[in-house]
Amino acid sequence: MTETKYIFVTGGVVSSLGKGIISSSIGKLLQARGYNITIQKFDPYINIDPGTLNPYEHGECYVTVDGMETDLDLGHYERFTGIQTTKANSMTTGRIYKSVIDKERRGDYLGKTIQVVPHITDEIKRNIKQLGLKHNYDFVITEIGGTIGDIESAPFLEAIRQLKWELGKKAINLHLTYVPYLNAAGELKTKPTQHSVKELQSVGIQPDILVMRTEKHLGEDIRKKVAAFCNVDLDCVVQSEDLPSIYEVPINMQQQGLDAAILRKCGEEVKPTPELGPWKEFLDRRNRATEEVNIGLVGKYDLQDAYKSIRESLSQAGTYNDHKTVIHFVNSEELTKDNVEEKLEGLDGVMICPGFGQRGIEGKIVAAHYTRTHDIPTFGICLGMQMIVTEFARNVLGYADANSREFDEKTPHNVIDIMEEQKNITNMGGTMRLGAYECVIRQNSRACNIYKQEYIQERHRHRYEFNNDYEKEFERNGMLCVGRNPESDLVEIVEIPSLKWYIGTQFHPEYQSTVLKPHPLFLDFIKTAIENKKK
């Protein structure tokens, strides 16, 4: 196959239907058939990227290897397919407009009036097609954020309409809708689906595939009715029932022949359905695990999506250790010296989460102190690592006023400091230390034994760093700086080897943990937490 095919995934009726999971599942299934695929997300908001958004607005911010701050759906794409995403996989209305406006200022449009159609829509189309050409992909799956009918989505829908027209069979639309169950009537209702499809048709898009999210099984009669009312082939009407885990979705979609329907619609030969061997083994192992390992998540956002990648990484690592990871959110704003014992009681390991800003940091320090002095396996990521370091400086090195420059500009003991190149930054967006950087790990350190290699690359998202002036003092007192950037000498990993598992990383390992390739740090952390439990 040479020509790239495009699958546009839209959603209707309500938001949060799981377009990201469906897109990832399709990616997984096509990949299993040997196709070279990629998944792209368009978000209809004006922000250039979600980097400056509060997690309460949009959940976690996911970071690509090339340093783009993106929507958390890109995390699902990588976890499902194991394929790395880049800047080109994440677009927002803001970026599209910025690019068009920059071109206008450069004079690229030669005196034309710049309009939503054709200039914005052309820019959207260009970004979709360009990704296809980039690595000669067989399929580009493009997920359109938002819900059909939103004012913001209109230019994206117009771009899809045009592409479908231009590319014929090489471009299809998969529309995800919701079928509610009315308890009082005891009925499943397809009307919202019909209306949502009408809305799509009214902008000139005929969906090729319909996936209906539902909490109850939909019978053949309902599928037939929807097919007839929406002009969609019966084998292209699929249901996505609630499942115990998002990782069951690809299997469920395959059983209903979604991948085969997509191929048929695109005019591709449909070969026999492939086995999803390792994926199924992962699920079997996950379902077999009954014993629990209890992990505390010390952070300030009491919202599932805020620490999505960390939660998924912990959960995957549980499966590979034949345990169910049970995550207990511990609100760092409520954590004090007086209640820490009670709040962390019964936990086999503690994760100190990343974050920005003052709120909740003292609680993270209290947690780090408790777990260090009680030898509870502890993993600090980014701000979590910085708080582990601050706690150590305060209570072991004896600098009661030790702090990060982020929280106390005047502290004489700035064990975490701002990087030189960050000092004069005025724009907040996209200016942190972002994306993958190299790290060299000290031989025979715990981290090196876990990674089983000295040279690694991990992704970053921060402005502040360990202050190397204090390195010797930390080392003399038992906290070792075992990972560093070979060029800048910045500290990337700290550990206390005398404890069971006490490691902090300046980088975010959670962005690299996938279903079939779980991250070694998470695997070892959970393994140690399980051993800790047994003792």
As annotated, the active-site residues are 382, 508, 510
Whole-angstrom distance, CA of residue 148 vs CA of residue 160 = 13
Lookup: tokens for 204: 């000139």
The dihedral region occupied by 389, where left means phi > 0, alpha psi between -120 and 50, and beta the remainder, is: alpha
Residue 362 or 531 with smaller CB distance to ligand GLN: 362
Minimum distance, C-beta of residue 382 to ligand GLN, in the bound complex (Å):
3
User: With contacts defined by CB under 6 A, how many residues of the chain interact with ligand GLN?
Assistant: 10
Say whether residue 318 binds ligand GLN (CB under 6 A).
Answer: no
> Is residue 437 within the footprint of ligand GLN (CB under 6 A)?
no
Residue choice 459, 461, 484, 519 for contact with ligand GLN (CB under 6 A): 461
Among residues 26 and 432, whose Cβ is nearest to ligand GLN?
432
Q: Choose between 161 and 461: whose C-beta lies nearer to ligand GLN.
A: 461
End-to-end CA distance of the chain: 56
Q: Does 60 bind ligand GLN (CB under 6 A)?
A: no
| Count of beta carbons in the 10 Å neighbourhood of residue 46 | 13
DSSP characters over 65-89: TT--EE-THHHHHHHHH-PPP-GGG
Q: For ligand GLN, which residue of 45, 320, 356, 407 counts as binding (CB under 6 A)?
A: 356
Site for ligand GLN in 154-213 (CB under 6 A): none
Instruction: Give the tokens for residue 415.
Output: 């064990």
Are the CB atoms for 529 and 323 separated by under 8 Å?
A: no
Q: Distance (Å, rounded) from C-alpha 205 to C-alpha 207?
A: 6
CB of 81 or CB of 386, closer to ligand GLN: 386
CB 4 within 8 A of CB 142: no
Q: Are strands 480-484 and 433-441 parallel, antiparallel or unpaired?
A: antiparallel
Mapping DSSP to helix (H, G, I), strand (E, B) and coil, where does residue 258 land? helix
Q: Does 297 bind ligand GLN (CB under 6 A)?
A: no
Phi, psi of 263 (to 5 degrees): -60, -45
Please give the C-alpha separations between residue 69 and each of 98, 132, 431, 511, in angstroms, as whole numbers. Answer: 16, 21, 10, 12
Q: Which is nearer to ligand GLN, 63 or 159 (CB)?
A: 63
Residue 275 DSSP symbol? P
**Which of the ranges 2-10, 318-326, 354-362, 469-477 carries the binding residues for ligand GLN, by CB under 6 A?**
354-362
> CB 324: neighbour CB atoms within 10 A?
17
Instruction: Decide if residue 61 touches ligand GLN (CB under 6 A).
Output: no
Return the number of the residue (67 or 132) whose C-beta is nearest ligand GLN.
67
Using CB under 6 A as the binding rule, whether residue 354 contacts ligand GLN is answered as yes
Binding region for ligand GLN (CB under 6 A) out of 115-123, 189-197, 287-295, 455-463: 455-463
Q: Which of 202, 115, 189 is nearest to 157 (CA)?
A: 202
> At 133, phi and psi to the nearest 5?
-75, -30
Could you tell me if 407 and 458 are in contact, meaning their C-beta atoms sit under 8 angstroms apart? no
CB of 63 to ligand GLN, least distance (A): 9
Q: Which is nearer to ligand GLN, 146 or 483 (CB)?
A: 483
Of the candidate residues 98, 189, 225, 463, the single one contacting ligand GLN (CB under 6 A): 463
Instruction: Say if residues 77 and 89 touch (Cβ distance below 8 Å).
Output: yes
Q: How far apart are CA 233 and CA 256, in angstroms?
A: 14
**Binding of ligand GLN at residue 17 (CB under 6 A)?**
no
Listing DSSP states for 246-312 in one string gives GGGHHHHHHHTTHHHHHHHHTT---PPPPP-HHHHHHHHHHHH--SEEEEEEEES--SGGGGHHHHH
Per CB under 6 A, does 355 bind ligand GLN? yes
Alpha-helix runs per DSSP H in 168-219: 191-202
Least distance from C-beta 112 to ligand GLN, angstroms?
43
- Is 52 a binding residue for ligand GLN by CB under 6 A? The answer is no
Helices (H), ranges, 377-484? 383-395, 446-451, 471-476
DSSP 482-523: EEE-TTT--EEEEE-TTSSSEEEESS-GGGG--SSS--HHHH
Q: In the bound complex, what is the minimum distance in angstroms from residue 418's beta carbon to ligand GLN?
A: 8
- With respect to ligand GLN, which residue has the nearer C-beta, 124 or 381? 381
87 binds ligand GLN (CB under 6 A): no
Pattern 395-434, ligand GLN, x by CB under 6 A = -----------x----------------------------
State in angstroms the smallest separation of the CB of 525 from ligand GLN: 17
For the beta carbon of residue 21, count every other beta carbon within 10 angstroms: 21
Contact of 124 with 156, CB cutoff 8 Å: yes
Contact region for ligand GLN (CB under 6 A) — 101-109, 163-171, 348-356, 443-451?
348-356
**Residue 300 binds to ligand GLN (criterion: CB under 6 A):** no
Phi–psi pair at 28, nearest 5 degrees: -60, -45
CB of 402 to ligand GLN, least distance (A): 16
Q: Is 250 or 354 the residue whose CB approaches ligand GLN more closely?
A: 354
Q: How far is the CB of 84 from ligand GLN (least distance, A)?
A: 20
Sort strands 37-43 and 90-92 into parallel, antiparallel or unpaired. parallel
Three-class DSSP category at 460: strand
462 contacts ligand GLN (rule: CB under 6 A): yes
| 450 near ligand GLN, rule: CB under 6 A | no
CB nearer to ligand GLN: give 37 or 352: 352
Q: How far is the CB of 24 from ligand GLN (least distance, A)?
A: 24
Site for ligand GLN in 377-396 (CB under 6 A): 382-383
67 part of the interface to ligand GLN, by CB under 6 A:
no
Interface pick for ligand GLN out of 80, 156, 329, 464 (rule CB under 6 A): 464
CB of 309 to ligand GLN, least distance (A): 12
Measured from the CB of residue 61, what is the shortest distance to ligand GLN in angstroms?
Answer: 9
Q: How would you classify the pairing of strands 209-214 and 237-241?
A: parallel
User: In the complex, which residues of this chain contact ligand GLN (CB under 6 A)?
Assistant: 354-356, 382-383, 406, 461-464
